[in-house]
Amino acid sequence: MKLFGYWRSSAAYRVRIALHLKNIDCEYVPVHLVKNGGEQHSEAYVALNPTHLVPTLIDDTLDGELVLNQSIAILDYLESKHPQPALYPESIVDKAQVQALALDIACEIHPVTNLRVQQYLVKTLGVDDANKSAWGPHWMCLGFAAFEEKLQKVSGKYCYGDHVTVADLCLVPQVYNANRFKVDMSAFPLINAIVERCNQLPAFIKAMPENQEDATL
């Protein structure tokens, strides 16, 4: 199994946490999103992933080589292949609630704040530094406010009850990203407490961006 990723990629970060939680052996292949114009645009990488995004997972299966992109799909694949420890509750109702929380981040907050959007704002639309710097925090705060409200009804030690789920795997990288953007997180005490608990777990520590082989501070 191989994971193509970038140390600061929120989506790749989610997958790294799952790999460590499940103790899955996986070769990590760095794809630098900035160097040389962005290695995700190289001919070799685009042949694997035409979206020009990370992560990409490659795995050998009985039906041949699987090449899979989209972090949520990768997480679900890992969950099916390595079901323990489980990243979803058993109840179909609870599982749907966890999926909704995860997608609140993966589909609503993350896409409008990622690197290629930031680059488009500057290079194509000519947005100045001040307005570009306001873009990410604006969308993140809107999303975090809704997420915090949901947590008031369903959280325990973690996003959904007292067990780590896919929702936590999405939340922690997004908060890491928010801190990079200097977002004021003081309005989100439940989010902050959950992230603090998660970041004390070995799997989350191993998956932290600064602990990756391609990390450059």
Beta-ladder partners of 68:
57
Contact indicator for 48, 41 with CB cutoff of 8 Å: no
Q: Which region, left, alpha or beta, applies to residue 182 given φ > 0 means left and ψ of -120 to 50 means alpha?
A: left
**Percent of the chain predicted with pLDDT > 90:** 85
Of 3.40.30.10, 3.30.1130.10, 3.20.20.70, 3.40.50.150, which CATH number belongs to 2-85?
3.40.30.10
Type of residue at 24: I
pLDDT tens per residue across span 103-139? 999 999 998 888 888 889 988 999 998 888 888 899 9
Structure tokens at 195: 């992230």
Largest CA distance in the chain: 52
pLDDT category at 62 given cuts 50, 70, 90 is: confident
Residue 6, both tokens: 């970038």
Q: What is the pLDDT of residue 217?
A: 55
Whole-model pTM: value is 0.95
Domain assignments of the chain as residue spans, ordered by start:
2-85, 92-203
Q: Which CATH number fits domain 92-203: 1.20.1050.10, 3.60.150.10, 3.40.50.300, 2.40.30.10?
A: 1.20.1050.10
| Helical pair 92-103 and 129-154, crossing angle rounded to 10 deg | 160
Mean pLDDT of 161-187: 96
Cross-strand partners of 65:
60
The 10s digit of each residue's pLDDT in 7-38 is 999 999 999 999 999 999 999 999 999 988 89
Instruction: Give Cα separations from 209 to 17, 116, 156, 160, 206 (angstroms).
Output: 11, 19, 26, 24, 9
DSSP code string of 4-47: EE-TT-HHHHHHHHHHHHTT---EEEE--SSGGG-GGGSHHHHH
Q: In whole angstroms, give the CA distance from residue 183 to residue 48.
A: 34
Question: Which residues does 159 contact at the CB level (< 8 Å), separation at least 6?
Answer: 98, 101, 151, 165, 167, 168, 171, 194
pLDDT score of 160 more than 60: yes
Type of residue found at 60: D
